[in-house]
Amino acid sequence: MAGFSGFNKWKWVFIFLAPSLFGILLFIVYPIGTSLWLAFNDWNLLSPPEFTGLANFQALAVDADFWRALGYTLQFIVLYVPSVFVLGLALALFLNQKVRGMLFVRTTTFLPVVASWVVVSLIWKWIFNPAYGLVNYGLQLIGITGPAWLFEPQTALYAMVITSIWKDVGYIALLYLGGLQNISETYYEAARIDGATRTQSLRHITLPLLTPTMFFVAITLLINYFQMFDQVWLMPMRDSAADRQLEVIVTQVVTNAFSYNRMGYASAMSWVLFAIIFAITFVQLRLQNRWVHYESD
């Protein structure tokens, strides 16, 4: 690569990067910068933005709707994340067995993952229908009168947690499966020679060597579910209490931006959400040394 040094080299680097750099600057960096600026403004789209300093953040601090939305988001995460974390692992251990027909089973568990939320929510809305749905029919057979599920905020939250687990568990299992298949067979052979039982192998080989995958799963789950939107937007029954009261942070952002025309306020809300996610991810990264084992360690 004689002659390709200094300015000359960087020029070519820039030229080759330009097409994608242009897209990133225009569609990612510029909107992020604008939203940060808007967070300090009052803008209803129809009149020019008006600088209001920290007013949006001050209003957020005392906005009961925002705190309620944050509460529902946290409740959802507390119920959903540990469940899908454990169930995904259990499913992966099951799918990792070498049995005839396993490929078919693996494919089946992945189907809900590729289905769109619109389709999934239509199906589960019917399953959770208090009068015609499968769930309450099943409960009735064992003598329980089922709740109104997607009509009430609290039961709607449970219904959405169940639906989300069903939809995502295949994806989480796939991630674990990748981790499982990366663990070298030699460890298990050595353990067998030393007379380890299957439980001991699981506890002392599989789980420790799976911690990098677990770490990745935990981080992406938390990031994704602080930003959850689809199920909350789609699933509650129209005009019901759940529809009018169950909000998470991103549905609040969308409503404020596009129904209430409060672009500045919605931007401020997005930045608070960013700060929350950033803080949580930061803590997770700091704690990683305590429990994550990489194979090379």
Partner 1 sequence: MLRKFGLFLTAVVLLALFSTAAAQDTTTIRYFTFSAAPDHLEDLDTIVQAFQAENPDITVEVSSAPFADYFTLLQADVVSGDTPDVFELNYENFVTYAANNTLLDIGSMVSADAPFYPRALEAFQYQGTQYALPETFSTVLLFYNADLFDQAGIDYPTADWTWADATEAATAIKALGDDVWGLYSPTQFWEFYKKAGQNGECQFFNADMTESTINSPACVSTLETMVNFMNDGLMPTAAQLSGVSDSELFLSGKVGMLVTGIWMFDAFADAPFNWDVQVEPMINQHANHFFANGVAVSAATANPEAAAKWAEFLTSSETAATVRVDSAWELPALDQPAYFEAYLEKTPPANRAAVFQALENPVTPPVIERQSEMQDAVNALLTQVADGELSAQDALDQAKTALDALLP
What is the pattern of x (binds partner 1, CB under 8 A) and - over residues 143-162? Answer: -----x--xx----------
* Sign of the alpha-carbon dihedral angle for 214, 217, 219, 221: negative
Q: Judge residue 197's burial from the number of C-beta atoms within 10 Å of its C-beta, 0-12 exposed, 13-18 middle, 19 or more buried.
A: exposed
Tell me: does residue 15 bind partner 1 (CB under 8 A).
no
Q: Which of 96, 201, 227, 261 binds partner 1 (CB under 8 A)?
A: 261
DSSP 45: S
Options 118, 244, 278, 279; binder of partner 1; rule CB under 8 A: 244
CB neighbour class for 94 (10 Å; exposed up to 12, middle 13-18, buried from 19) = middle
Least separation in angstroms between residue 245's CB and partner 1 is: 6
- The CA distance from 248 to 27, in Å, is 25
**Least separation in angstroms between CB 257 and partner 1:** 10
Q: Does 55 bind partner 1 (CB under 8 A)?
A: no
- How many residues make contact with partner 1 (CB under 8 A)? 24
Helix (H) or strand (E) holding 88: helix 64-95
125 binds partner 1 (CB under 8 A): yes
Q: Can you tell me which of 20, 47, 97, 199 binds partner 1, judged by CB under 8 A?
A: 47
When asked if residue 239 is in the footprint of partner 1 (CB under 8 A), the reply is yes
Contact at 8 Å (CB) between 236 and 156?
Answer: yes
Residues in the chain: 297
Q: Which residues pair with 58 in a beta bridge?
A: none
Report, in Å, the least distance between residue 162 CB and partner 1: 18
Burial of 263 (0-12, 13-18, 19+ CB in 10 A): buried
Would you count residue 288 as binding partner 1 (CB under 8 A)? no
19 binds partner 1 (CB under 8 A): no
Measured from the CB atom, the residue of 93 and 241 that comes closer to partner 1 is 241
* Planar angle of CA 122, 133, 241, nearest 5 degrees: 70
Ramachandran area for residue 276 (φ above 0: left; ψ -120 to 50: alpha; else beta): alpha
8 Å CB contact between 259 and 252: no
The answer to whether the beta carbons of residues 40 and 51 sit under 8 Å apart is: yes
Q: Does 175 bind partner 1 (CB under 8 A)?
A: no
Residue 132 interacts with partner 1 (CB under 8 A)? yes
Minimum CB distance to partner 1 smaller for 225 or for 265: 265
Q: Which of 36, 37, 42, 44 binds partner 1 (CB under 8 A)?
A: 44
Contact assessment for residue 222 and residue 277, using Cβ atoms and an 8 Å cutoff: yes
CB of 148 to partner 1, least distance (A): 4
Judged by CB under 8 A, does residue 211 bind partner 1? no
Structure tokens that stand for 27 in this block: 């569609």
In angstroms, give the least distance from the CB of 269 to partner 1. 14
Pick out residues in 83-122 that bind partner 1 (CB under 8 A): none
* Sites of contact with partner 1 (CB under 8 A): 44-47, 125, 129-132, 148, 151-152, 237-241, 244-245, 255, 258-261
